[in-house]
Amino acid sequence: MFKVFKTPEFKKAINFYKDGIKENRKSFVISMGSAVVWCFLIVIQPYIIKRIIDDAIVLENRQMLIILISFMLIAGYLRASTIGIRRYFSMHVSYNVEAGIRNRIFTHMQKLAYNFHDKVPTGELMARASSDASQVRLAFAIAPLATANILLLVILSITLLSLSLPLGALVLLSIPAVLWLASNFSSKALGISLRVKEAEAQMTTEVEEQLGGIRVVKAFGNEDLAASKVETAISSIYNTSLEYLDLRTKFVPMFELIPMVITLLVLLLGGYLSINEFITLGDFIAFTQYVFLLLWPLRITAWFLSEIPSSVTAGNRILDLLNESPSIV
């Protein structure tokens, strides 16, 4: 499972990402910390709703109702605060990393010999500093959220099993199914993602060269040849992107379908158990709340895993450039 994690490309890229974390350690830790706190706050709210129903509304305890609603408001405020903190610092880290990558690329390119620039097209270098750097930024932006959602999956799984063993077991069947789909998608998408990046670089190269040498092209009457090269590059990126999207359309809808089917089964079985008093009404409502909370981290985790091939490819392409030995010291 998750063969992409065992590839040499992933191991090479992970060291590159570690350097980005070290350079922005403080902001990264704050972002991750707020994400972890958010996990626990999001789990508390359905439990408070359960207590409101079973201990306040059913027993007609007005004082308990006021206390529990106050706790719920405080938890909601803290949850909103942690979301803001996580977003701010994760964006701070990601944009710092992106800026640092572009500075490193620019500095390194100044040290490379003329024969390197003759060999490597300008568009290829532009793609490393633009689309590849942006893909790396995206990985840093969603890393705290993905980590928090993986932790949330674990916490919610334990909570669901503690509320109702049959309902909890039914819900947890969806997790390995979604992760298995994400694993298959990641392993198949790695090669396609590399071809998409190469096609983007080729298109950038052709456009840059044709625009830069437009006077020469016109002087020799080579407009048709120049247009043909650009059209070929555009067709290449179109075909590879379509291949990647075709792969996504086979897997991504299943990420949505499986949790929704499980939710429907939970409502049917949970309603039966509640009507026959195997579980309390508060337990049933809290359980459905937890199930709905589980859908979001499942989707985010699947999305994060589906983005790993693109991020690994982008990181390796940047590393290949930075590892080029300079002849000017």
Percent of the chain's residues with pLDDT above 90: 0
Contact (CB, 8 A) for 312 and 13: yes
Mean pLDDT of 249-260: 76
Closest to 186 (Cα-Cα) out of 289, 309, 275:
309
In the predicted structure, residue 3 carries a pLDDT above the cut 70: no
Identify residue 221 by its one-letter amino acid code: G
Instruction: Note the pLDDT of residue 8.
Output: 61
In the predicted structure, residue 13 carries a pLDDT above the cut 70: no
30 or 170, greater pLDDT: 30
User: Tens digits of per-residue pLDDT, 50-72?
Assistant: 788 877 787 777 888 888 888 88
Instruction: Note the pLDDT of residue 1.
Output: 46
- As a whole number, the mean pLDDT across the chain is 76
Mean pLDDT of 270-293: 77
Calculate ∠ Cα 103-106-112, nearest 5°: 140
Domains in the chain: boundaries: 23-322
Grade residue 112 by pLDDT with cuts at 50, 70 and 90.
confident
Grade residue 273 by pLDDT with cuts at 50, 70 and 90.
confident
Mean pLDDT of 301-308: 70
Mean pLDDT of 75-104: 84
CA–CA separation, 164 and 197 (whole Å): 47
Instruction: Note the pLDDT of residue 318.
Output: 78
Instruction: Note the pLDDT of residue 89.
Output: 87
Grade residue 233 by pLDDT with cuts at 50, 70 and 90.
confident
Residue 163: enclosing H or E segment and its boundaries?
helix 133-163
SS3 for 113? coil
Report pTM. Answer: 0.64
Contacts of 267 (CB under 8 A, 6+ apart): 288
Max avg pLDDT among 36-45, 79-88, 136-145, 248-257: 79-88
In the predicted structure, residue 5 carries a pLDDT above the cut 60: no
Q: Quick one: residue 325, left, alpha or beta (phi over 0 = left, psi -120 to 50 = alpha)?
A: beta
231 or 16, greater pLDDT: 231
Instruction: Note the pLDDT of residue 263.
Output: 77
Q: Any idea which of 98-107, 228-237, 287-296 has the lowest mean pLDDT?
A: 287-296
In the predicted structure, residue 38 carries a pLDDT above the cut 80: yes
CA–CA separation, 314 and 295 (whole Å): 29
Neighbours of 172 (CB within 10 A): 16
148 or 15, greater pLDDT: 148
Contact (CB, 8 A) for 290 and 39: no
Closest to 184 (Cα-Cα) out of 13, 10, 3:
3
In the predicted structure, residue 329 carries a pLDDT above the cut 60: no
Contact (CB, 8 A) for 113 and 327: yes
Contacts of 168 (CB under 8 A, 6+ apart): 157, 160, 161, 162
Burial class (CB in 10 A: 0-12, 13-18, 19+), 121: middle
User: Tens digits of per-residue pLDDT, 193-222?
Assistant: 767 777 777 777 777 776 767 776 676 676
In the predicted structure, residue 256 carries a pLDDT above the cut 60: yes
Please report the sign of the dihedral spanned by the C-alpha atoms of residue 197, residue 199, residue 202, residue 208: negative
Please give the span between the terminal C-alpha atoms of the chain, in angstroms, as a whole number. 44
In the predicted structure, residue 10 carries a pLDDT above the cut 70: no
CATH architecture for residues 23-322: Up-down Bundle (1.20)
Tokens representing 177 are 């199914």
In the predicted structure, residue 190 carries a pLDDT above the cut 70: no
Instruction: Note the pLDDT of residue 6.
Output: 61
